Structure 1
Amino acid sequence: MEFIYYFGDVFSPLSFALLLGGTIGGLILGATPGLSPTMAVALLIPFTFQLEAVQGLILLGAAYTSTVAGGAVSAILLKIPGAPANIATTLDGHTMAKKGQGARALQLSFLASAVGGVFGVLLLIFLTPVLAQWALAFGPSHLFWLAILGVTVIGSLDSDSVVKGLLSGCIGLWLATIGFDDIMGAQRFIFHPSLGGGINIIAALIGLFAIPQVLTMFAKGRKTQGAEVIEVQKHSVGKAAGELVRNPRALTIGTITGSIIGLIPGVGGQIAGLVAYDQTKKFSPDQDKFGTGHPEGVIAAESANNAMVGPSLVPLLTLSIPGSPTAAVLLGGLLIHGIFPGTDLFDNHPDVAWTFINSMLIGQILMCIFGLYVAGLAARVAQVPQSVMAAVVLGLSVFGAYSVQSSMGDVYVMACLGVMMFFLERYGFSAAPLVLGLILGPIAEANFIQGSMIANASVGMGPYFLGGPLNIFLMVVVAASVAYSVWTELRTRKVQNAVEVQS
């Protein structure tokens, strides 16, 4: 219970002011397309040079927490995920906004984020030593199978057809190979200088989600605008809280999934949200409602991506192994102040470690309060005429893609992927599986190559990748995921055929 002793340090004037500033700033940065949590934290590191170590970490931790949640704002209102972690939020959140339920979707997202975030930080507080050893058990072979599991999730994610979902994922896996091979340095599919460094995930994210929407808006023209005015429905926080309580399945699956995936080094919050969304859909009796503006989809995705924040810091603080890209930036913030995380961090610098963790707990609550305050106002974005909205979204997309690396090449990549996705959507393909394949490709490839090197120098490929309890368990889950996706599609088609025969 040592953390209680340092709880009051969070409320010292400067520390609390930094916590407030980091939370509000993180929400704004998170809602800005192109500014991921990793970039937001990296941008704030120079401001911590003149601060004490604990104060600098409070600022960075608050920004990390609120940026992940703030990404839901643009995901819901504009269908532009503020970060990869918010991809799954667009699937139902934006549909709710188009129905005038933007305030309801935002309120549910911030409440679910707070619940998942608080649970994740409590895990960080009470189970750090145990969880650190569990995280250490994941080697290259396990991470490879985990990436393959993510690929199998693609089959039923935001797609009416398992085949089309898997094909979208395969396109994403191919896009992930573009660039230089990390091991041999060989060029792969570099037919333009802009592709030399591969496809940047943020530029791809904006292009695949935002550009098809912009093209659709422009294609409709201005003549239809009068018939498409959206009436924004008011929604109280009390009703949103009640709705959250009435959906314990989505909240529980999202929180637990996010906590487990956040603990595994190198996986990241983008996988947590998508896997939680998929599992909630599979366990729900209302599977057909997902993708049509179903609140459970928003609750599952947002509770998962914030629940991963706390556990992602477990391997960082105890083993010096960053659990996510943002945690790697936080590691830099620690090292700048001469603090080396590891098993003795809580013995040598308990004031820094516990005050930082406590500030993240308070930050989750502050993030929820400020998020709920702006939800009703932000939802009015839906009333902007689509001709104006298209121009605004296009401008934000160009800004977001360019700001990642200050490169026009990323803007070209964004535009090309967006046009490609516009035509693919016409044939029933979805952006979410494609993005998931693009994210998982490097993870699967890097761990397979690393595992192959270890296997060839030890027990061999077969025993290394196919042996061991954890490998076998993950392979069984992969097979079950594929089988369930196929069975669900066949059952749905059977029901649809029966209805058509009766009619």
Structure 2
Amino acid sequence: MEQLLDYLPAVFTWSNFLVLACGSLGGLLFGAMPGLSPTMAVALLVPFTFYMPPVPSLLLLGAVYTSAVAGGSISAILLSIPGAPASIATLLDGYPMARKGRAQEALYTTFVSSLFGGVVGALALIFLTPPMSDFAMKFGPSELFWTTVFGITVIAGLSSGSMLKGLFGGTLGLLLGCIGESSVTGEGRFIFHEALTSGIAIVPALIGLFALPQIVEMMEDAHLIFEKIKVRAQRGLLARVIRQHARYKRSLFIGSLIGTVIGVIPGAGAQVAGLMAYDQVKKMDKHPERFGTGDPEGVCASECANNATVAPACIPLLTLSIPGSPTAAVLLGGLLIQGLLPGPELFTKNADITYPFIIGMFLAQFFMFGFGILVSRYTHMVSDIPNYIMFCSVMILCVFGSYCVQNSMEDVYIMFGLGALMLLFKKLDIPSAPIVLGIILGPLAEENFLRGRMIANTDVGMWQYFFTGAINQVLIGLCLLSLVYAAYNEIRFARRAKARLAHTAEEDHA
């Protein structure tokens, strides 16, 4: 802590503040564009940092990373199109809020919650780097497998009142995630066209499943978008939203805890943290049926969790050279460009660079919050855009975002194919979130299971490797609890719906 205080003056300069401000605003706007993920934002900037001094270059990358994760919620709330995978859970309540004329409140909730989660994550980076990096090292293939299985159990809780449809969507997502060549064995699965050789990338899938159905909806009703995005200017709204967060203590605690732990564990990612936090808060609520109908607490839980993963993802990166997320892996390139090798020397020989970067990650949360609130106040401009221009602009962004992932037209075809499939599923009331979650977690679960099986077959055997050990057993217990609680909530939801129908029938009869 004393070393951090010694390096405070190195960050509090006008030039570094300007870098933080530009990175935060740019990351926010970049993250809001559908398909342009935080990973892509940082990757595009890394070459430009080659000629920059080490401290400003890392401050810039850290600020862009922080703001791009939060920026994905803007298009998720306004257009029902996640700007980044981390915003999948945000749109479940954020977009219904926008349809009710509460878009600005939803965005204020987003940035207040993101600030809270981001600050908690940054404090974890400051104070818990050594112990949390040791904890992350205890996660081998078996622990990571059960972590992803725990994430898969979230699928059961994403569709209150239609669990079977949610499970069907999740199962389909798991199958879609298995398409392509296995990263462990090299074996090809379900490759009936060369476009599927490398599998289904998450960004084209995200755009196809969420964006294309929304575009078709715009085309079906020329006035629909104006009815959905009515932003009413309200005095004192920000103060009211901040006071409202005092009632969301449980959501803030759960979101921060899950986000921090998931951030440290390599490979899980902000999208998993957001969905897990949303699911757990929903399960613990006395009235889970209100989630998904435009409840600010759902936005709070998701955004608090996904931003809480940002700084902790740098803990294993800085100490062990193990990135906690894909974006942190790109950030590793920024370190190497500056001649910095992760490990103990970062905190000794290069402390004059490392500690200012850590302080910058903390300050970037406040820049993200300030610019996010500023941008939120101009969301009314979205409702002034003619529908045909909105349609064309979003379609261009969809194609551009899908193509840019691998510079491949095959990803664009996959995006259109999944979009057409989702149009059919919308008619059948099958939700898209479980499908996306299955696509994200399926490959992670498969990869870690296959690696674990190889280790188990050469050592202690499958049962002992996967079912013994404190961490494995705790995670298995959480998986079982999650499934039981989801089933209990489904039964409770069905009983309440039946009681409401009976009550309505009695009133009609009277």
> What's the secondary structure of 1:344's corresponding residue?
helix
Query: 1:35, CA displacement in angstroms?
Result: 1.1
Partner residue of 2:111?
A: 110
Query: 1:383, CA displacement in angstroms?
Result: 4.8
Q: Residues 231 and 326 (structure 1 numbering): CA distance in 2 closer, same or farther, change over 3 Å?
A: closer
Partner residue of 1:494?
A: 495
What are the residue-to-residue correspondences of 1:335-484 with 2, within 5 Å? 335-484=336-485
Partner residue of 2:184?
A: 183
Q: What CA distance in whole angstroms lies between the structure 1 residues aligned with 2:43 and 2:497?
A: 51
Partner residue of 2:153?
A: 152
Q: Does 1:43 align with 2:31?
A: no
What amino acid sits opposite 1:460 in the alignment? Answer: G
> What's the secondary structure of 2:330's corresponding residue?
helix
Q: Is the 8 A contact 1:225 1:385 kept in 2?
A: no
Q: Give unmatched runs, 5+ long, in structure 1.
A: none
> What's the secondary structure of 2:91's corresponding residue?
helix
Q: Summarize deviations over 1:348-396 as a string: whole Å, max 9, x none.
A: 2111111001011111001100110110202441454545433332222
Partner residue of 1:302?
A: 303
Q: What CA distance in whole angstroms lies between the structure 2 residues aligned with 1:216 and 1:418?
A: 12
Query: 1:225, CA displacement in angstroms?
Result: 5.6
What amino acid sits opposite 2:366 in the alignment? Answer: I
Q: What CA distance in whole angstroms lies between the structure 1 residues aligned with 2:442 and 2:215?
A: 27
Query: 1:215, CA displacement in angstroms?
Result: 1.6
Q: Is the 8 A contact 1:102 1:382 kept in 2?
A: no
What amino acid sits opposite 1:395 in the alignment? Answer: I
Q: Is the 8 A contact 1:159 1:428 kept in 2?
A: no
Query: 1:92, CA displacement in angstroms?
Result: 0.7
What amino acid sits opposite 2:437 in the alignment? Answer: L
Q: Residues 398 and 468 (structure 1 numbering): CA distance in 2 closer, same or farther, change over 3 Å?
A: same
Partner residue of 1:126?
A: 127
TM-score (norm 1): 0.96
What amino acid sits opposite 2:286 in the alignment? Answer: P
Partner residue of 2:508?
A: none
Q: Does 1:63 align with 2:79?
A: no
Partner residue of 2:233?
A: 234
Q: Does 1:284 align with 2:294?
A: no
Q: What CA distance in whole angstroms lies between the structure 1 residues aligned with 2:196 and 2:466?
A: 32
Query: 1:91, CA displacement in angstroms?
Result: 0.6
Q: What CA distance in whole angstroms lies between the structure 1 residues aligned with 2:418 and 2:366?
A: 38
Q: Give unmatched runs, 5+ long, in structure 2.
A: 506-510
Q: What CA distance in whole angstroms lies between the structure 2 residues aligned with 1:237 and 1:452?
A: 52
Q: Is the 8 A contact 1:208 1:431 kept in 2?
A: yes
Q: Is the 8 A contact 1:231 1:383 kept in 2?
A: no
What amino acid sits opposite 2:100 in the alignment? Answer: K
What are the residue-to-residue correspondences of 1:205-224 with 2, within 5 Å? 205-220=206-221, 222=222
The alignment covers a number of residue pairs equal to 501
Identity of counterpart residues, as a percentage?
50
Partner residue of 2:170?
A: 169
Q: Summarize deviations over 1:136-187 as a string: whole Å, max 9, x none.
A: 1111101101111111110111453222111111111111111112233222
78-87 or 340-349, which deviates more: 340-349
TM-score (norm 2): 0.95
What amino acid sits opposite 1:212 in the alignment? Answer: P
Partner residue of 1:244?
A: 245
> What's the secondary structure of 1:311's corresponding residue?
coil
Q: What CA distance in whole angstroms lies between the structure 2 residues aligned with 1:445 and 1:269?
A: 19
Q: Is the 8 A contact 2:231 2:379 kept in 1?
A: no
Q: Is the 8 A contact 2:70 2:114 kept in 1?
A: yes
Q: What CA distance in whole angstroms lies between the structure 2 residues aligned with 1:403 and 1:227?
A: 30
Q: What CA distance in whole angstroms lies between the structure 2 residues aligned with 1:247 and 1:397?
A: 35
